[in-house]
Structure 1
Amino acid sequence: METEQIKIFDQARNEMGVASREEVHKKGYWHEVFHCWFLSHNDLLLQVRSEQKKENPSLLDITAAGHLLADETVADGVREVKEELGVDVPFEELVPLGIIEYCSIQGTYIDNEIANVFLYKCHVEIKDFHLQKEEVAGIVKVYFNDFRQLWDESKDVIRVTGYEIKADGSKHSIDQLVGRDQFVPHPAGYYQTIIEKIDEQIK
């Protein structure tokens, strides 16, 4: 995975060439990613990252997301949904939420992302997902208004429910209170922007 070839850009979004995924995060090159948030009725679906992940293991994150490879278009990014969640979602059914640029630095890991962000209004039962165990350990849902209040800091904890697949293949229910520290540390502005854009789609 670290040798995957990814297009790199300068801060003005001018294409500079191609680099390996490892080099992209070592040198902090800007690169394109695909983010897809699932909204089911009034619930936002979140993935629990696999404990095997090198970055941010076991934390809550975007429903499905990943890097766009050098030879891929934004539309090709929908493969991430199939790979991580095991469900087929036509790209045409996704609602574009725009492009969000942000920087996240954790030690020597520099993540300068040009995120192509989409919303999928779904009626998929989370029990029907087939998770890619190397990437995703579980799926939870959270009431969207609670998620909003977590990131505007009017609440410090919110309830999530769902399930997690353990290393031995057993499925365990999740019903717990979580705080902001249990989410992947995208900049707070990213979460706030996502909330605003989803809000526009459900009003």
Structure 2
Amino acid sequence: MEEQLRIFDQNKHPIGVASRRDVHHYGYWHEVFHCWMITLIEDEYYVYLQLRSPFKKDYPGLYDITAAGHLLADESVEDGIREVEEELGISVQYEDLTSLDTLSYQVENDTIIDKEFANVFLLNSRLQFDDFKLQVEEVTGMIRVKLNDFEQLWSHQADQVKACGFKIGVDGRSQSFEERIGREDFVAHDGSFYREVVRRIKGSL
């Protein structure tokens, strides 16, 4: 059965339930769960980002929030923690997260009208790349980028940033890599969304 999501008006008043297909076709406001993971390496904070599978229907092959997903009609915000384990193979307790509050944003293109109320959380961790066990149907790689570099990218002080990480090849093996990536390599959230997330992350440290 297709996923059923709670839908809202623009003031976040519940107005019913709709299929995920209809939510994105008609542009209903709905809830999602976001978990941003950071780690401290030699006095520098890094942010982990996932590489979406090239076979995903929406935004294939682009870098995205560490772990994220829709909240189903019968789920609470706390239930969203399942996304971390499903996508990344990391066991995390809700109590380990720091709430960065709720952000609303929308993305519209030829294939989707995506209006989301994002429940945004931070995990300040000591995770290393070897800790991730990816659900390759959803996620085919992980990178980390210096948090300050990530901020400069979305403040248009830099056009590219250095990223290091790993990808899962077609043979199922993990391959390490380094590359420079730009804004065009990310899911097309508005730049103000990324800037606000960084501001809230830094405010929580």
Give TM-score, length-normalised by structure 1. 0.97
One of 60, 75, 95 as aligned partner of 1:57 = 60
Shift of 1:70: 0.3
One of 80, 85, 97 as aligned partner of 1:82 = 85
Output aligned runs, 1:142-157, within 5 Å: 142-157=145-160
Q: Residue 189 in 1 paired to residue 188 in 2?
A: no
Letter in 2 for 1:48: L
Q: Residue 201 in 1 paired to residue 204 in 2?
A: yes
Determine helix, strand or coil for the equivalent of 2:33.
strand
Determine helix, strand or coil for the equivalent of 1:162.
strand
Q: Residue 45 in 1 paired to residue 48 in 2?
A: yes
Shift of 1:168: 2.1
- Equivalent in the alignment of 2:140: 137
Shift of 1:167: 2.4
Q: Deviations over 1:25-80 (max 9, x none)?
A: 00000000000000111110000000111111111100000000000000000000
In the alignment, the residues of structure 2 paired with residue 167 and residue 25 of structure 1 have an alpha-carbon distance, to the nearest angstrom, of 30
One of 165, 171, 178 as aligned partner of 2:181 = 178
- Equivalent in the alignment of 2:31: 32
In the alignment, the residues of structure 2 paired with residue 39 and residue 62 of structure 1 have an alpha-carbon distance, to the nearest angstrom, of 11
Give TM-score, length-normalised by structure 2. 0.96
In the alignment, the residues of structure 2 paired with residue 129 and residue 33 of structure 1 have an alpha-carbon distance, to the nearest angstrom, of 22
Letter in 2 for 1:44: V
Determine helix, strand or coil for the equivalent of 2:107.
strand
Letter in 2 for 1:40: T
Letter in 2 for 1:11: Q
Determine helix, strand or coil for the equivalent of 1:87.
coil
- Equivalent in the alignment of 1:17: 16
Shift of 1:119: 0.3
In the alignment, the residues of structure 2 paired with residue 128 and residue 193 of structure 1 have an alpha-carbon distance, to the nearest angstrom, of 28
Letter in 1 for 2:94: F
Determine helix, strand or coil for the equivalent of 1:158.
strand
In the alignment, the residues of structure 2 paired with residue 96 and residue 55 of structure 1 have an alpha-carbon distance, to the nearest angstrom, of 26
In the alignment, the residues of structure 1 paired with residue 102 and residue 72 of structure 2 have an alpha-carbon distance, to the nearest angstrom, of 17
Output aligned runs, 1:60-139, within 5 Å: 60-139=63-142
Letter in 1 for 2:29: W
RMSD: 0.9
Among the aligned pairs, what percent are the same residue? 48
Query: Which 5+ residue runs of structure 1 have no aligned equivalent?
Result: none
In the alignment, the residues of structure 1 paired with residue 164 and residue 74 of structure 2 have an alpha-carbon distance, to the nearest angstrom, of 37
Q: Deviations over 1:156-179 (max 9, x none)?
A: 110000100022202211200001
Q: Deviations over 1:74-94 (max 9, x none)?
A: 000000000000011000110
Greater CA drift, 68-77 or 170-179: 170-179
In the alignment, the residues of structure 1 paired with residue 90 and residue 119 of structure 2 have an alpha-carbon distance, to the nearest angstrom, of 20
The alignment covers a number of residue pairs equal to 201
